[in-house]
Chains A and B, each alone.
Chain A
């Protein structure tokens, strides 16, 4: 059941937030950001590789592909508001030797065009790269724009590589890695002013690799996407409570870096918390749980993710608090679990 809209009590100090723009930046106030990392990285890649073409279904401006379209107008294909055509045509271009980078919103790729991606791209093993904005709960527009199942759907698709990047650095390094991989890739996309976080951790993106960003003996977050940013913030905040928190960032959901995850989870006495900006069904949490079960590694395990329900419309900070994926909500849950 959908929760009823919550109205602020009269005289409350906290102002009632309004639903932000559909494409609201997920950067918090004062956070360091980089503009359009995907578009700029694709430009850099394309200048050295004539096979790269860009395609979109009427969402070039909202996926930062307009940066590429402006720089390479002859290599940009506007397919109109037609996602099935977008992916079918991408398969055709790939079969002729090109490397299409296709953009739309994650909801439309994962739900509307799933069979086209499944049959014309994954089954035929075409070299198509799919980059999709508004992953998980990054839009206040309600279920029409909230791609809460995309990771589960694309994880289930044979041949498909699945990436959930955390920040601008992750994205700009993932783009050339996607191109270097022969075969279909799905990447969740953050666009516009994208937070820059991972440069502080000596991090580099490697396809298929999880990276320990900070170690901690009491709690280990295993996280992907923006939840890694939240986990890092929570880890810092929990230092005040003298709780020592590690963060293992898993930007590649498939293939999973089983070795790194097993090694991190084998460390005794540490609470493992998988945190994902995705429904708790079928995403990173269940992938990690299944791995641990199969391999007989049994740490204390908790999960943080979006509930199995249609989420509400509203302002993102409100929704992230409500559904337990804000930094504050992470801290609250960790404290409760450690009691």
Chain B
């Protein structure tokens, strides 16, 4: 079964909206969470899971699946929302988010959650694992792909550049990496913490096929995934640089002063859900 056969009549706009809603509900459970990041990356995750990737909801470890590695483990709230939307995790489980004995810990770990391919949290690990998975899939003559999401702050980690060099060296055209450029990391704007621009030119110089898109423009994101998938056979790994807006979809969170960990007051979760509900796509 591929994604084409599950909910093919549901628009990507609606998928992204559903992901945002699942994430807000989880955030409300804990009274905290990296909700602004979840809202900014929802369009990318909707496109990955409901346009680009092949998987079986009832068989998360199916050998023929595309792999999705969440390097920035604190984005787990966003990936859980996508996995719920994909039918890999039951929706009622979101009420357990971050609680004792839950399969949905606040930082993503491989052994806890179906569909979670790696243990993130320590930043900069994902691309190296993705290189190994890309090599492994090629050894098996598999046509599955490895997708990995990481954050712009992780560009500070030397290991990320080790992996970027090696993916080009090994011509891993089955590897599609997405970097979320929301320009916010723990100590401030990512570009101010450590300058990483011009990112497109840098990555192209490293031998990657690079696209830079508005990560909250679903049509642009979809086209970028299509072009990245078309790289299979080219010998080039693909990078999608997704410029995103933290808090996207909830205007008062979009407008809030930017911070790595945006504070949401207890009464604001319902306000956020109401704001989102006003913008429900068909």
Contact = CB atoms under 8 A, between A and B. Distances in A.
Interface of A: 53, 77, 79-80, 82, 84-85, 87-98, 100, 115-116, 119-120, 123-125
Contacts of A95: 117-118, 129, 132-133, 136
Nearest to B146: A92
B134 A123 contact: no
Contacts, number: 98
Given A88-B125, A92-B129, A116-B128, A125 B111 contact: yes
23 contacts: A80-B162, A80-B169, A82-B162, A85-B128, A85-B159, A87-B128, A88-B131, A88-B132, A89-B131, A89-B163, A92-B133, A92-B134, A93-B132, A93-B135, A93-B136, A95-B117, A96-B132, A96-B137, A96-B139, A100-B132, A119-B122, A120-B119, A125-B111
Nearest to B159: A84
Interface in B112-153: 117-119, 121-122, 124-125, 127-137, 139-140
Contacts of A53: 139
B131 A92 contact: yes
A119 B133 contact: no
B163 A85 contact: yes
Contacts of B122: 115, 119
The 3 closest A-B pairs by CB, nearest first: A92-B132, A88-B128, A96-B136
B233 interface: no
B110 A82 contact: no
Instruction: Identify whether the interface residues of A are mostly helix, strand, loop, or mixed.
Output: helix
Contacts of A119: 119, 121-122, 125
Interface in B75-110: 109-110
A124 B111 CA distance: 7
Nearest to B73: A119
Contacts of A124: 110-111, 118-119
A84 B158 contact: yes
A87 B159 CA distance: 11
A92 B136 contact: yes
B166 interface: yes
A176 B237 CA distance: 35
Nearest to B170: A77
B56 to A, nearest CB: 17
Interface of B: 109-111, 117-119, 121-122, 124-125, 127-137, 139-140, 158-159, 162-163, 165-166, 169-170
B72 to A, nearest CB: 13
Given A82-B162, A116-B125, A91 B136 contact: no
Contact of B135 (A92, A115, A125): A92
A89 B126 CA distance: 9
A16 B117 CA distance: 56
Contacts of B121: 119
B156 to A, nearest CB: 14
Nearest to A81: B162
Contact of A84 (B130, B140, B162): B162
B159 A98 contact: no
B213 to A, nearest CB: 26
Given A88-B159, A89-B128, A95-B132, 12 more contacts: A77-B135, A82-B159, A82-B162, A82-B166, A85-B162, A88-B129, A92-B128, A92-B133, A93-B136, A96-B132, A98-B136, A124-B110
Contact of B132 (A82, A84, A89, A115): A89
Contact of B166 (A89, A90, A123): A89
Contact of A79 (B125, B140, B166): B166
Contact of A120 (B118, B135, B136, B162): B118
A120 B139 contact: no
Nearest to B142: A96
A91 B132 contact: yes
B119 A89 contact: no
- Looking at B117, B129, B130, B137, the one whose CB has the most chain A CB atoms below 10 A away is B129
Nearest to B140: A96
Contacts of B137: 96
